Chain A
Amino acid sequence: MSIIEFKCVSKHFGALKVLDEVDLDIDQGEVVVLIGPSGSGKSTLLRCINGLETITGGDLRVDRISVLAGNAMLREIRQEAGMVFQQFNLFPQLTALDNVAFGPRHVRGQSTREARAQALALLKKVGLEERAHHYPNELSGGQQQRVAIARALAVKPKVMLFDEPTSALDPELKQEVLNVMRDLAEEGMTMVVVTHEMSFAKQVGSRLIFMENGKISVDGNPREILANSANNPRLQDFLRHVH
């Protein structure tokens, strides 16, 4: 069953068409890796899923709820689809623990104690329980991003959206974030990942989508696509630049 359905989705920024009548079905349990040159619309596509960008044409459903169904429904979708940002965006005034407990407290209405207990378990899962009482500015980029993943998981989403989660990280810090993401994929989480990490696409991805000019130009098994990239000059050109 599809958990995310794009039906002829377009997105314009003024006169600029960023998504051009995209059709896409994502099934439960899939790990979809989105790649493409900058400006190809991959981040916009991701941000349309949880309504951070409003689609201007077609329909987009997450767990059968349309992103156009109004604010209350949009909040439902956002609880179903957790998001991890390139710049982490942790709340600087809260400790790692309270960042993770924030969603359950203010969205799910849990008590602080309950939310914190759950948050600690999630921090343990991402390997940061001993950093629970540190503030974001006391953590490394990789640690911040792992806290951000835990924060998104705390609302118990069915889908996780990753918007270039390792692009702001030093090479030696990328791996700790990618490892957490791999564990998540192995647990069967549905994931949509915008990234330039081709090794992650190859090893963890169940599906690879190459976007160009607001359209999906290649869609399929990552290992097959990468093995046969010689047949597609534009894909090959793109891959040469990310390596």
Chain B
Amino acid sequence: MNTDWSVIANFMPQLLSGARMTIYITLVGLCGGMVVGTIAGLMRTYGNWLLNCTAMIYIEVIRGTPIVVQVMFLYFALPVLASIRIDPLTAAMIAIVVNAGAYIAEIVRGSLQSISRGLAEAGLALGLPRWKVLVYIVGPLAFRRLIPPLGNQFIISLKDTSLFIVIGVSELTRTGQEIMAANFRAVEIWSAIAVMYLIMTGTLTLLLRLIERRMKIL
């Protein structure tokens, strides 16, 4: 077996642009996922039965189906069903928003429910309206407990972007496959790609550690 690590340097510009695309999809997807997840989590925790049920169906449908099927549905089935045609990149970002949103909703619900009921009662007993109890007491405490499981989900979503190879989004994994198809340098290219994913997830982990350290869990 002869390996030639110098080929990596030749393909670096392509690999970097793939990594940029991966980061872009992840960032947009997770920002949206946080919004969707927070709303769905609040609906599950505090909503009336209708809101609760709606959120629950969303979460169960998404958690019960593979993300590859979800993105295939968005990209191939939606044009047929509703004549909505979206480009692969948009489909990829929506898939992360919808998918991460479902998991984040459960993380949000879990954190909110882990805060002792007595604290909410203490707030109510002072004469606070429910929303202020949530904003000033339960929310800030739940937020600290959110960070570790949220970090987990961020890493999973980042790696999930590699599955969008199926709709041809030119993220990092897809870029690797294209390079491979031209030069068959499997060991070098896939090693380089693995390291690049590790750098991205490592940075994410480090950032979350820093935030976690600044906020004691109470």
Query: Cβ of B122: which chain A residues have Cβ within 8 Å of it?
Result: 83, 85, 89-91, 148, 151
Question: Whole-angstrom distance from the CB of B140 to the nearest CB of chain A?
Answer: 6
A92-B218, A93-B141 known; A106+B125 contact, CB < 8 A: no
A155 in complex: contacting residue of B126, B132, B137, CB < 8 Å = B126
Could you say which of A32-40, A70-78, A205-213 contacts chain B? A70-78
* A106-B128 in contact (CB<8A): yes
Q: Chain B 86-129 against A: per-residue CB contact (8 Å), 1 yes, 0 no?
A: 00000000000000000000000000000010110111111111
**Interface membership of A54, Cβ < 8 A:** no
Contacts of B11 in A (CB 8 A): none
Question: Is B184 in the interface zone, CB < 8 Å from A?
Answer: no
B118 touching A78, Cβ below 8 Å: no
- When chains A and B are docked, how far (Å) is the Cα of A128 from the Cα of B218? 22
- Complex Cα distance, B140 from A92, in Å, reads 10
- Set B121, B123, B126, B129: member contacting A71, Cβ < 8 A: B129
Return the chain A residue nearest B130 by Cβ: A71
Whether, in the assembled complex, B136 has its beta carbon less than 8 Å from a beta carbon of chain A, the answer is yes
A152 contacts B by Cβ under 8 Å? yes
A-B contact count (CB 8 A): 61
Task: Please report the C-alpha to C-alpha distance between residue A76 and residue B132 in the assembled complex, in whole angstroms.
Answer: 15
Task: Kindly list chain B residues whose C-beta atoms are within 8 Å of the C-beta of A71.
Answer: 129
Q: Is A52's CB under 8 angstroms from B121's CB?
A: yes
A6 sits at the interface (CB 8 A): no
**A78 and B126 in contact (CB under 8 A), knowing A91-B137, A93-B141, A93-B218?**
yes
Judging by beta carbons under 8 Å apart, are B129 and A78 in contact? Answer: no
**Smallest beta-carbon distance A20→chain B, Å:** 24
Q: A152 touches which one: B124, B125, B128 (CB < 8 A)?
A: B125
Interface contact A52-B141, CB-CB below 8 Å: no
B141:A103 contact, CB within 8 angstroms:
no
CA gap between A93 and B218 in the complex, in Å: 7
Report chain B residues within 8 Å CB of A151. Answer: 122, 126
Tell me, in angstroms, the Cα distance from A28 to B112 when the chains sit together.
39
- A103-B128 Cα distance, complex, nearest whole Å: 8
Q: Are B124 and A78 in contact (CB under 8 A)?
A: yes
Q: Closest CB-CB distance, B147 to chain A, in whole Å?
A: 14
- Chain B residues with CB under 8 A of A52: 121, 124-125
Contacts of A102 in B (CB 8 A): 126, 136
A89 touches B141 (CB 8 A): no
The minimal Cβ–Cβ distance linking B139 to chain A, given in whole angstroms, is 11
State which of A83, A90, A91 has its C-beta within 8 Å of the C-beta of B125.
A83
Does chain B have a CB within 8 A of A230? no
Q: Bound state CA distance, A146 and B187, in angstroms? A: 67
Residues in A neighbouring B128, C-beta threshold 8 A? 75, 103, 106-107
Inter-chain contact B141/A87, CB cutoff 8 Å: no
Which of A90, A92, A107, A137 is the one whose CB lies under 8 Å from B126?
Answer: A107
Any chain B CB within 8 A of the CB of A214? Answer: no
Q: In the assembly, what is the distance between CA of A89 and CA of B116, in Å?
A: 9
Chain A residues with Cβ below 8 Å from B140 are 93
Q: Is A75 a contact of B129 with CB atoms below 8 Å?
A: yes
Tell me the bound Cα distance from A85 to B121 in angstroms: 9
Q: Are B119 and A91 in touch, CB under 8 angstroms?
A: yes
Interface residue? A82 (CB, 8 A)? yes
Contact A76 B124 (CB under 8 A): no
**Residues 124-183 (chain B) with a chain A CB within 8 angstroms:** 124-129, 132, 136-137, 140-141
Interface contacts beyond A93-B140, A103-B127: sample of 7 additional A-B pairs, CB < 8 Å, sorted by A: A75-B128, A78-B127, A83-B125, A89-B121, A92-B218, A103-B126, A155-B127
Residues of A at the B interface (CB closer than 8 Å) are 50, 52, 71, 75-76, 78-79, 82-83, 85, 87, 89-93, 102-103, 106-107, 137, 148, 151-152, 155
Give 29 A-B contacts (CB < 8 Å), ordered by A residue.
Answer: A52-B124, A78-B124, A78-B125, A79-B126, A79-B127, A82-B125, A82-B126, A83-B122, A83-B125, A85-B121, A85-B122, A85-B125, A89-B119, A90-B122, A91-B119, A91-B122, A92-B119, A93-B141, A93-B218, A102-B126, A103-B126, A106-B126, A106-B128, A106-B136, A107-B126, A151-B122, A151-B126, A152-B125, A152-B126
Pairs of residues from A and B, 3 with the lowest C-beta to C-beta distance, nearest first: A89-B122, A79-B127, A78-B127
